[in-house]
Amino acid sequence: MRFKDAAFGLSVNELSLITHRHPQTIRRYLRTNRAPIEVTHLIDLHRSGKIPSTNESWSGWRVDGPLLIDPDGNGYRPNEIRSLWAVKQLRYELERLRKGPVQMCMDV
């Protein structure tokens, strides 16, 4: 993929923020239509929202604005993801209470 194709529709400032390159460098890339392949790939990843991972378990996941989208199309906001530890802890406690020894109380 050529740089201009990957950068189409994005401003110099947006490209600079995405790639962490100086705006003058971005202008040179646009003028020559040549950029390091990793810069072009980074822009492509940003536009597609795909999560770059070599682990198959992340296949199909993507980022769309503030949402993390799973392969089934369900979206999760950051606060939902941050609260997962509490949900796991509650599940663990409920399982522990359910499996724990039963105490009998008898009136004497």
* Series of mean pLDDT values for 10-residue runs along the chain (108 residues): 89 94 96 94 87 80 89 93 91 86 65
Query: What type of residue sits at position 92?
Result: Y
CA distance 86 to 5: 44
DSSP three-state, residue 67: strand
pLDDT of residue 98: 86
CA distance 56 to 26: 33
pLDDT of residue 65: 85
If one counts the domains in the chain, the total is 2
Cβ pair 22, 16 in contact under 8 A: yes
Nearest to 26 by CA among 40, 38, 17, 15: 15
Query: 100's torsion region: left (phi>0), alpha (psi -120 to 50) or beta?
Result: beta
pLDDT of residue 11: 95
Judgement on whether residues 64 and 81 belong to the same structural domain of the protein = yes
Judgement on whether residues 63 and 83 belong to the same structural domain of the protein = yes
Is 85 inside a domain boundary? yes
Judgement on whether residues 3 and 28 belong to the same structural domain of the protein = yes
